Amino acid sequence: MLWLLNQISQFAPISPEGQLALASVLVRKEVPKGYVLLEHGKICRHLYMLEKGFARGYYTQDGRDISLWFAFEGDILASYYSFVTLKPSYTTIEILEDSTIAGVSYDQLNELYRNYPEFNLIGRLMTEKYFIELEERTLSFQFQSASERYHQLIEKHPQLLQKASLGHIASFLGISQETLSRIRAKK
Amino acid sequence: MLWLLNQISQFAPISPEGQLALASVLVRKEVPKGYVLLEHGKICRHLYMLEKGFARGYYTQDGRDISLWFAFEGDILASYYSFVTLKPSYTTIEILEDSTIAGVSYDQLNELYRNYPEFNLIGRLMTEKYFIELEERTLSFQFQSASERYHQLIEKHPQLLQKASLGHIASFLGISQETLSRIRAKK
DNA sequence: CGCCGAGTTGAACTGAATCAAGAAACGTGG
DNA sequence: CCACGTTTCTTGATTCAGTTCAACTCGGCG
């Protein structure tokens, strides 16, 4: 509980009342490796934060899956698109290591937004943070080669090498597994 | 004035006091074709909305420019990254048709956020909207071919054909001008 | 008219995909 | 603790989408 409050109050301080209100609706769960938190086609009705563990979001096309993102401790686990629009998610969220997650439901969050406007500030800042990260990722597709993207990714998240498989990383970079293997081979 | 209020109140209603406060700090400008609204390397201290006209954001690499986005009426003109972090922008914003823009400065907007928390809700919703659009764009790089990306773009924004040059569109799609010309040639 | 920027077309080249096969690592049951 | 099957990773040969460079066309405009 404390952990999540601490995490999100790094975006902006939360009043004692707000903290209490959040704590009272917060759900905390342990989920095992392999667990599917959100299934493709379902509506994402919860916003979780990954307290401990590792996860990824992926898209399925022609029978193979393509990683959209990886989540480390402190990252949000949700399909933004589905959560915001309440339309079916195209993303599947898969837990890749035994994890602890904490979060709130769509209704509860909106209740919080209504009763404690200060949460809108936090929501805005968090959205801005993820927007900027996504912008950087889009840029990398537009001007970097496969090899450049790989090296930059590993520099930013060296833990990925231990945690994610070659195939997961390759699809995240938008390249084939074989190509990534060859990139690794040279130097 | 009215126009911009109307636009952003589509995200969420604004109280009369909020409307007044916003109106009092709003700047409205006419800018000619060719005008550079934000220069690469400068800090983006204003958030404008394009009321009428057409513009694009681009990045310069090895002497050539690569389009990052196009803005139509109602779209935001700013480098989100620079505006939010107050770091130098890597984006240049160029007006492509005589335009009317309206907006607020960084300081004024934060003043609004502070005094009228309701604006945080609007800020969050607008950021979410752009986040989802960007997500779609990133996806398109991850699994679509150049030709698929082009046809989808044109389907979504047919006006682009009249407004933007082949070179601008090609760099936006992450392909060379020649390739786009060939894509056009066949069917 | 002649120039100029924008778009097209051709030919050679290249980074990455695909298909196919094999090697290594990994976990589970005996 | 080993043996087996499964999954993950590597390597090779071939193909293909898209780049690059270069020459050429077209429509406007001074």
Q: Is the CB of B176 under 7 A from strand D?
A: yes
pLDDT in tens, A40-54: 999 999 999 999 999
Give the confidence band of B26 by pLDDT, cuts at 50, 70, 90: very high
Does residue A131 register a pLDDT over 90?
A: yes
pLDDT in the model for residue A85: 94
Does residue A64 register a pLDDT over 90?
A: no
Rounded Cα–Cα distance for residues A19 and A22 (Å): 5
Rounded Cα–Cα distance for residues B147 and B173 (Å): 9
Does residue B63 register a pLDDT over 90?
A: no
The total number of structural domains in chain B stands at 1
User: Is B47 part of a structural domain of the chain?
Assistant: yes
User: Is B16 part of a structural domain of the chain?
Assistant: yes
What residue numbers bound the domain in which A53 lies? 2-118
Between the alpha carbon of residue B186 and those of residues A152, B137, B151, B179, B181, the distances in Å are 37, 24, 12, 11, 9
pLDDT in the model for residue A38: 96
pLDDT in the model for residue B74: 96
Q: Which of A5, A159, A174, A175 is nearest to A71 (CA)?
A: A159
Rounded Cα–Cα distance for residues B34 and B19 (Å): 32
User: Is A172 part of a structural domain of the chain?
Assistant: no
pLDDT in tens, A12-22: 999 999 999 99
Average pLDDT across chain A, whole number: 93
Which phi and psi (to 5°) does residue B119 adopt?
-70, -25
pLDDT in the model for residue B61: 81
Q: Are B91 and B84 in contact (CB under 8 A)?
A: no
Which phi and psi (to 5°) does residue A63 adopt?
80, -10
pLDDT in the model for residue A1: 63
Between the alpha carbon of residue A164 and those of residues A95, A96, A144, A154, the distances in Å are 11, 8, 22, 11
Smallest Cβ–Cβ distance between A141 and the set B80, B84, B174 belongs to: B174
User: Is A107 part of a structural domain of the chain?
Assistant: yes
Q: What does the block give as tokens for B33?
A: 């074709």
Mean pLDDT of A92-97: 94
Q: Return the percentage of chain B with pLDDT > 90, whole number.
A: 89
Does residue A171 register a pLDDT over 70?
A: yes
Pick among B131, B148, B172 to test the A interface (most A CBs inside 10 A) = B131
Mean pLDDT of A122-146: 91
Q: Which CATH number characterizes residue A46's domain?
A: 2.60.120.10
User: Is A169 part of a structural domain of the chain?
Assistant: no
Q: Which residue has the higher pLDDT, B187 or A146?
A: A146
Does residue B16 register a pLDDT over 70?
A: yes
Which residues touch A72 (CB under 8 Å, ≥6 apart)? A50, A54, A157, A159
- Of B11-15, B56-60, B163-167, B183-187, the range with the lowest mean pLDDT is B183-187
Does residue A187 register a pLDDT over 70?
A: no
Q: What does the block give as tokens for A12?
A: 């902006």
Average pLDDT across chain B, whole number: 94
pLDDT in the model for residue A174: 93
Q: Is A78 helix (H, G, I), strand (E, B) or coil?
A: coil
Give the confidence band of B186 by pLDDT, cuts at 50, 70, 90: confident
Does residue A160 register a pLDDT over 90?
A: yes
CA A5 to chain centre: 18
pLDDT in the model for residue B64: 83
User: Is B90 part of a structural domain of the chain?
Assistant: yes
Does residue A95 register a pLDDT over 70?
A: yes
Mean pLDDT of B109-133: 93
B interface with A, Cβ–Cβ < 8 A, is 59, 61, 66, 68, 80-81, 84-85, 113, 117-118, 120-121, 123-124, 127-128, 130-132, 134-135, 137-139, 141-143, 174
Does residue A63 register a pLDDT over 80?
A: no
User: Is A148 part of a structural domain of the chain?
Assistant: no
Mean pLDDT of B35-58: 96
Does residue B127 register a pLDDT over 80?
A: yes
Mean pLDDT of B122-129: 92
pLDDT in the model for residue B81: 93
Rounded Cα–Cα distance for residues B39 and A132 (Å): 19
Which phi and psi (to 5°) does residue B8 adopt?
-80, -20
Specify burial of residue A66 (Cβ count, 10 A radius: 0-12, 13-18, 19+).
middle
Does residue B44 register a pLDDT over 90?
A: yes
Which phi and psi (to 5°) does residue B159 adopt?
-60, -25
Contact B127 A132 (CB under 8 A): no
User: Is B156 part of a structural domain of the chain?
Assistant: no
Residue found by looking up tokens 């970097």 in the block: A144
Give the confidence band of A27 by pLDDT, cuts at 50, 70, 90: very high
Does residue B62 register a pLDDT over 80?
A: no
Smallest Cβ–Cβ distance between B131 and the set A80, A139, A141 belongs to: A80
CA A18 to chain centre: 24
